[in-house]
Amino acid sequence: MSDWTEKYRPSTLAEVRGNDKARDALREWAETWEDHREAVIVHGSPGVGKTSAAHALADDLGWPTIELNASDQRKADVVKRIAGEAAKSGTLSEGSAGRRLVILDEADNFYGNVDYGGSRAVSDVIKSANQPIVLIANEFYDMSQSLRNACETIEFRDVSARSIVPVLRDICRQEGIEYEQSALEAIAEGTSGDLRSAINDLQAIAEKADRLTEEAVVTGERDRSKGIFDFLDEVIKTAGAREALYASYDVDETPDDLINWIEDNVPKDFEGAELADAYDSLARADRWLGRVRATQEYSYWRYASDNMTAGVAAARREPKGGWTRYGPPSYWRKLGSSRGARDRRDYVARKIAETGGVSMGTARRELLPHLTVMTHHCKNRELTVQMAARYDLDAEHVAFVTGSGKDTNKVQGIVEEARERREVAAVDASGGAFEGAKRTADAEANEADGTDEATEADEDPADEPTASVDSATEPPTEDPEERDSQSGLGDFM
């Protein structure tokens, strides 16, 4: 049976459900593109129709599409070659009015992979594009601020249950499925605004029942949540290949999570050649999951599920008995325990990358370790202050780099001095932009005090010569860049 999410994907914008305002805004953006020539970021939760809307828009306007996925093709040279060329005009593949639509899916992942140079390449492509570009993102604020500011933004919200029900009803009619209205409403309410998941749930239940009833929906939901440990017992110990696959339909876990459960627990019962065969099947499943993430083709999930369930069950050489203590994937525990440290590391690395014009990978692998050694426990205080000022680090992140406590007076003093230096540097870099405002404020203050600045200057003729003498004897101001170089910080920038 074909995947219904693909079979019933909207072919026109009019068929996109639940986001009428966003849909209309997307059409207006496209129809007025010649006037503003901006790219657009379409963002929102997974499964609400963002990518479908972009393709439907292209179909409505007769524009060919060229699609690039950030998860799969994120290196700068790939982005520039594919998206860059696609964003230029003058090819035989252009549609009406000489237009084609460039779709950059999972665009929030470009920023997460700055080490590949993809984020900067996307920004360059957008600035020089001669064709309309749609960037699809789940997490809007995971994208760089410069990229967000360069584009128009349209948010797709979660689809309401009352908008999901008509879609399910239409699919049932086209598939010849008898249904109860309450069953469709139960499916729609249970998917939390994810239209794609609602269609997947409808298909899963319809494959098992001749008539779609509310009881079948509730039973299906109860069965899916009956327990991951019972499922592991079947797959690893007793079920054949077909039974293991069918058992996965009743587990409330996505294939991405299910593979972690199986991978972590199969060594508790399998060993030798059967364990090697089981891991071979899991490796194939993982490759299919990678394709899903890269292409958003969720129909590939079936191949991943086949390998991780039927493949593992088929690897069993002999029946397994007894009771086994299964547990949640250790991978999750490791991620949870290290999440805070990884977030702090990536924050500092991103600051270094943005400030120094280097890739995030270089910042993380090469520069950050050197800074950690050079500022260990803030022993080189001057260098630590320079680092905090240059990268605008707060106490938490200074403490992470140096290994000192963030609440210590030492770190707090460094952060405060760094803040003062940044303020001074901002004024110096303004090129006198604040001078006029300062003189005006001083004049107003003097007037309020009843004094005249010019008169006071005339009454003290010695002020001018004194200033000249001081300026003549004052040593030259130290170049901040030269100071950084002498301290060692400049070597990394």
Per-domain residue ranges for the chain? 4-156, 161-224, 250-328, 342-429+479-492
Query: At which residue do the structure tokens 């790939």 appear?
Result: 78
Any residues with CB less than 8 A from the CB of 293 and at least 6 apart, and which? 71, 72
Beta-carbon count within 10 A of 270 CB: 21
pLDDT bin (cut points 50, 70, 90) of residue 86 is: low
Element housing 219 (H / E): helix 214-224
The per-residue pLDDT for 433 is 56
**Which of the four pLDDT bands, split at 50, 70 and 90, describes residue 402?**
very high
Q: Rounded to whole angstroms, how far apart are CA atoms 467 and 330?
A: 70
Q: Which residue reads 């060329």 in tokens?
A: 85
Reported as a pLDDT band with limits 50, 70 and 90, residue 357 is confident
What DSSP designation does 385 have?
A: H
For the residues 276-292, what does the mean pLDDT come to? 92
Structure confidence at residue 470 (pLDDT)? 43
* 307 touches 288 (CB < 8 A): yes
Inter-residue contact 16 to 8 (CB < 8 Å): no
pLDDT per residue over 303-356, tens digit each?
999 999 999 999 998 878 788 888 777 765 555 555 667 778 888 988 998 888
Residue 280, CA distances (Å) to 222, 233, 253, 410 in order:
32, 20, 21, 53
Q: Give residue-wise pLDDT tens across range 225-272.
A: 446 888 888 899 988 888 888 888 777 777 888 898 899 899 999 999
Q: Is 131 helix (H, G, I), strand (E, B) or coil?
A: coil
Token look-up 């086994």 returns: 324
pLDDT of residue 52 exceeding 70, the answer is yes
Helices (H) then strands (E): counts for the chain? 29, 7
Q: Which two tokens stand for residue 344?
A: 């702090």
Reported as a single tens digit per residue, the pLDDT across 8-28 is 999 999 999 889 999 999 999
* CATH class in words for 4-156: alpha beta
DSSP string, 411-461: HHHHHHHHHHHHHHHHHHHTTTTTHHHHHHHHHHHHHHHT--HHHHHHH-T
Q: Give the number of other Cβ atoms within 10 Å of residue 383's Cβ.
A: 17
CA 434 – CA 441 distance, rounded (Å): 11
Cβ(400)–Cβ(369) below 8 Å: no
Task: Using the predicted structure, report yes or no on whether residue 463 has a pLDDT greater than 90.
Answer: no
Q: How far apart are CA 144 and CA 32, in angstroms?
A: 25
Residue 468 has pLDDT above 60, yes or no: no
| Nearest by Cα to 39 from 114, 145, 158, 125 | 125
pLDDT tens-digit profile of 109-168?
A: 664 444 445 566 677 777 777 889 999 988 887 778 888 888 999 999 989 989 999 999
- The CATH code for residues 161-224 is 1.10.8.60
Distances (CA, A) of 412 to 332, 415, 417, 418: 34, 5, 9, 10
Q: How big is the chain by its Cα radius of gyration, in Å? A: 31
Q: Give the pLDDT score at 484.
A: 45
Spatial neighbors of 211 by CB under 8 A, at least 6 apart, are 177, 178, 179, 180
Could you tell me which of 387, 412, 401 has the C-alpha nearest to residue 483? 387
Exposed, middle or buried, 277 (CB in 10 Å: 0-12/13-18/19+)?
Answer: middle
Determine the pLDDT at residue 224. Answer: 45
First vs last C-alpha separation in the chain? 57
SS3 state of residue 43: strand
463 vs 411 pLDDT, higher one: 411
Tell me the per-residue pLDDT of 409-456, one tens digit each, with 9 for 90 and over: 899 999 999 999 888 887 776 666 555 555 555 565 566 555 544 444
**Higher pLDDT, residue 404 or 108:** 404
pLDDT of residue 311: 93
CA pseudo-torsion sign 364, 369, 370, 375: positive
CB 49 within 8 A of CB 10: yes
